[in-house]
Amino acid sequence: MVSVQLSVAKKTSVTRNLPPSVTLDKPYDQLTVLDLKKAIAAKSSKFYVARQKLSLKGDNKALSDEATLKDAGVADSAEVSVKDLGPQVAWRTVFLVEYAGPLVIHPLFYHFPKIFFGGAVQHTVLAHFAKRELETVLVHRFSHGTMPLRNIFKNSAHYHLLSGLLLAWSIYSPTFAANSPWIRGTVREDPTFLWSCLAAFVFAELSNLSTHITLRNLRPEGTTKRAIPMGYGFGLVSCPNYFFETLAWTAITVMTGSYAVVSTYQMTVWALKKHRNYKKEFGKEYPRNRKAMFPFIL
């Protein structure tokens, strides 16, 4: 048996009644940090595993769930700092909520233009968000199971306000109606132009899906294993999923004349961060000629 002393960093309603120590029955060399978290959760049902952050006394770095207590430096009778991360929500739920916003908002603008524009408008990009919902359920695997509940509101605002409200207001407004001067007599009436834009959009969406499947296959189910992504798109950039998504929104922008590429900046920020993390994690093994998001440029 192994005993671990608990030091609560800041007492909350779920940590207030934790005992000063917990005892684990498995052999020391077989115990993991996750086993310790489960033992703590057994003492307080609301203090579930995803809500816990464990670290060595005097060190703020979180201990990895997969690490053994021995490798993590947690000896028998050692003291571990316990922090309550607050209510958590599954990443899969976060993605579903994010993409659901545009799926609800766009039909409202499309089917009820009188409410928003004061009259009928004859004229969707919903396929993109429907695809993202399906990917969230069927494709994505997440290195972290949850995130703080409060963050879902911040993350969803990007999709609900920009891709939902503002994009719908632009695309379904009288400006882009079939009889609008913005459309009549312009290339946006040319079937060849419209079909070309649609073909570019479909190509980009399928390519984006392909990269998501590649990323999924890098991580065996139930693990947080990471590897260098290879294959279609990854030969040139670290985040081809963001590159192809930008191409898809560019096709919509060219087709409609709206400002559908507003998300490109945020995806570029994410791509640069992931690119730096890849190079830091894999060092010399990581392909030196890869850019972050835009081939040969950035």
Domain contains 290? no
Claim to verify: residue 118 and residue 30 sit in the same structural domain: no
- Identify which of 98, 166, 158 has the alpha carbon closest to the alpha carbon of residue 132: 98
Q: How many Cβ atoms are within 10 Å of 11's Cβ, its own excluded?
A: 11
Claim to verify: residue 231 and residue 157 sit in the same structural domain: yes
Claim to verify: residue 151 and residue 229 sit in the same structural domain: yes
**Domain at 40, CATH number:** 3.10.20.90
Residue with tokens 């120590």, as numbered in its chain: 21
Instruction: Select from 39, 68, 86 the last residue of a domain.
Output: 86
Claim to verify: residue 70 and residue 157 sit in the same structural domain: no
- Identify which of 132, 123, 157, 116 has the alpha carbon closest to the alpha carbon of residue 266: 157
Claim to verify: residue 23 and residue 165 sit in the same structural domain: no
Domain contains 296? no
How many domains, in total, are found in the chain?
2
**pLDDT at res. 207:** 92
Claim to verify: residue 279 and residue 144 sit in the same structural domain: yes
pLDDT in 10s for each residue of the chain, 298 residues: 788 888 887 888 888 888 888 888 888 888 888 888 888 888 887 888 888 888 888 788 888 888 888 888 888 888 888 888 888 888 778 778 777 777 777 777 766 767 765 656 555 454 545 555 555 554 555 555 666 777 777 666 666 666 666 666 666 666 666 566 666 777 776 778 878 888 888 899 889 888 888 888 887 666 666 788 898 999 999 999 999 988 888 887 777 666 555 678 878 988 999 999 989 888 889 998 899 999 999 8
- Identify which of 200, 292, 288 has the alpha carbon closest to the alpha carbon of residue 241: 292
| CB burial readout 196-213, b (16+ within 10 A) else e | ebeebbeebbebbbbbbe
Domain contains 188? yes
**pLDDT at res. 124:** 46
Q: In angstroms, what CA-CA distances link 23 with 38, 64, 81, 141, 196?
A: 11, 19, 16, 33, 66
Instruction: Select from 86, 108, 141 the last residue of a domain.
Output: 86
Claim to verify: residue 18 and residue 146 sit in the same structural domain: no
Claim to verify: residue 98 and residue 162 sit in the same structural domain: yes
pTM value is 0.53
Claim to verify: residue 30 and residue 98 sit in the same structural domain: no
Domain contains 293? no
DSSP type of residue 68: B
- Identify which of 271, 273, 269 has the alpha carbon closest to the alpha carbon of residue 295: 271
Claim to verify: residue 174 and residue 272 sit in the same structural domain: yes
Instruction: Select from 32, 52, 86 the last residue of a domain.
Output: 86
Domain contains 77? yes
Claim to verify: residue 72 and residue 202 sit in the same structural domain: no
Domain contains 251? yes
- Identify which of 9, 152, 149, 171 has the alpha carbon closest to the alpha carbon of residue 88: 149
Angle 239-194-204 (CA atoms, 0-180°, nearest 5)?
A: 15
Claim to verify: residue 95 and residue 82 sit in the same structural domain: no
Query: For residue 19, what are the domain limits?
Result: 2-86
Domain contains 298? no
Domain contains 295? no
